[in-house]
């Protein structure tokens, strides 16, 4: 009797999905990865280092908004004076959103904080750490995809919803994907619900490119870590030294894109059955970081069924946190 256990038989359902998405992307033409898989424990750590880089202006810009305008944002949220669920999509370590949480707790509002993240490691840290900083905070972490978890919350809670989608996470989608995502998000919301969404604004192209091509090579390590994760979790044999990080920015479209470039003709194996062929100089598309104008932000809101209520800016006008509302005047998206 053959008792050998194959690679796929040893994988969990989450790992099987990771395998399926990875193989599908690498067999596509052109090749691509799904950026949500960047965030294992080491990826989380590397991204924290990215946010601390001098070149990565986004963190400080949005932090400036949250430090200076959390009271005003909390006032907007509490205007209806009803209980609500505060759902943060892609919560990370909550170092920015904690300013808003403090402002809401100080108002003694009735709300639950429901952080959503694809990384179970992140959710565990939030559930451990935030109650120490805000003992009265009602927190329940949700590990999974954004829209799945938002739908789950909507199914078990009829309270008003305030959704946070910050950190320019919307920029990880192209224009069509962003409209589709926001329209689908709205389907889980009701009249009067709010979406607070962060956008990196168009600015000096050299400043933008430097944020994704840092001198210390941390962004490169972050991208290459996904190959290392495939090796570890999916029994791959990527040679990390045979790939190189490359970033580009198009100021016309506002698209900043990251790639891994194969430095040679090579074969890579994943598990027992998958072989991926790379040509020298062939790119793997890793991630987009879309930049917006205010006019494009407002068009996205209207095009996906929201009404743009207000923008909050950092002192340099690098970044905007935009308040969108669902109401009877919102366009209906088919």
Q: Residue 320's pLDDT is what?
A: 98
CB of 138 closer than 8 Å to CB of 60: no
Sign of CA dihedral 130, 134, 135, 140: negative
CB of 70 closer than 8 Å to CB of 96: no
DSSP string, 118-148: S-HHHHHHHHHHHHHH-TT--B--EES-HHH
Query: Which 8-state DSSP code applies to residue 252?
Result: T
Q: Residue 302's pLDDT is what?
A: 94
Q: Residue 328's pLDDT is what?
A: 60
Strands 160-165 and 194-200, how do they pair?
parallel
Regions of the chain where pLDDT drops below 50? 1-4, 329-334
Q: Residue 118's pLDDT is what?
A: 80
Q: Residue 8's pLDDT is what?
A: 66
Express each pLDDT in 218-271 by its tens digit. 999 999 999 999 999 999 999 999 999 999 999 999 999 999 999 999 999 999
Q: Residue 135's pLDDT is what?
A: 94
Q: Residue 41's pLDDT is what?
A: 87
Q: Residue 193's pLDDT is what?
A: 95
Q: List all residues 6 or more positions away from 320 whose beta carbon is below 8 Å from its beta carbon.
A: 65, 198, 199, 201, 292, 294, 297, 311, 312, 313
Averaged pLDDT of the chain: 92
The residue whose two tokens read 């969404």 is 197
Express each pLDDT in 86-127 by its tens digit. 999 988 888 899 999 999 999 999 999 999 988 888 899 999
The domain limits of the chain are: 16-37+47-52+207-290, 57-201+295-325
The CATH number corresponding to 57-201+295-325 among 1.10.10.10, 3.40.50.1820, 3.20.20.60, 3.40.50.150 equals 3.40.50.150
Q: Residue 330's pLDDT is what?
A: 47
Cis ω before 140 (30° cut-off from 0): no
The residue whose two tokens read 């604004």 is 201
Q: Residue 4's pLDDT is what?
A: 47
């Amino acid at each position: 009797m053959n008792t050998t256990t194959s690679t796929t038989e040893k994988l969990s359902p989450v790992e099987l999905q990771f395998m399926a998405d990875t193989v599908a992307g690498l067999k596509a033409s052109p090749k691509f990865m799904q950026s949500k898989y960047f965030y294992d424990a080491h990826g989380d750590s590397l991204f924290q280092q990215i946010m601390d880089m001098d070149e990565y202006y986004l963190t400080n810009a949005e932090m400036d908004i949250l430090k200076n305008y959390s009271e005003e944002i909390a006032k907007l949220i509490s205007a209806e004076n009803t209980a609500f669920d505060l759902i943060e999509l892609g919560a990370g370590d909550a170092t920015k959103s904690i300013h808003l949480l403090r402002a809401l707790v100080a108002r003694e509002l009735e709300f639950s904080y429901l952080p959503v993240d694809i990384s179970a490691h992140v959710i565990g840290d939030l559930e451990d750490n935030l109650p120490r900083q805000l003992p009265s905070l009602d927190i329940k972490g949700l590990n999974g995809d954004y829209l799945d978890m938002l739908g789950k919350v909507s199914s078990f809670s009829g309270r008003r919803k305030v959704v946070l989608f910050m950190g320019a996470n919307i920029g990880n989608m192209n224009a069509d994907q962003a409209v589709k995502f926001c329209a689908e998000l709205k389907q889980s919301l009701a009249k009067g619900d709010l979406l607070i969404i962060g956008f990196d604004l168009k600015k000096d192209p050299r400043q933008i490119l430097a944020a994704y091509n840092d001198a210390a090579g941390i962004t490169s390590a972050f991208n290459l870590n996904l190959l290392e994760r495939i090796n570890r979790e999916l029994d791959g044999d990527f040679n990390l030294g045979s790939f190189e990080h490359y970033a580009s920015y198009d100021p016309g479209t506002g698209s900043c894109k990251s790639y891994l470039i194969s430095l040679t003709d090579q074969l890579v194996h994943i598990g027992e059955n998958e072989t991926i062929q790379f040509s020298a100089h062939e790119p793997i598309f890793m991630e987009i970081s879309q930049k917006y104008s205010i006019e494009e932000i407002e068009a996205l809101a209207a095009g996906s069924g929201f009404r743009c209520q207000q923008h909050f800016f950092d002192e340099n006008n690098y970044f905007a946190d935009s308040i969108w509302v669902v109401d009877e005047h919102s366009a209906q998206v088919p």
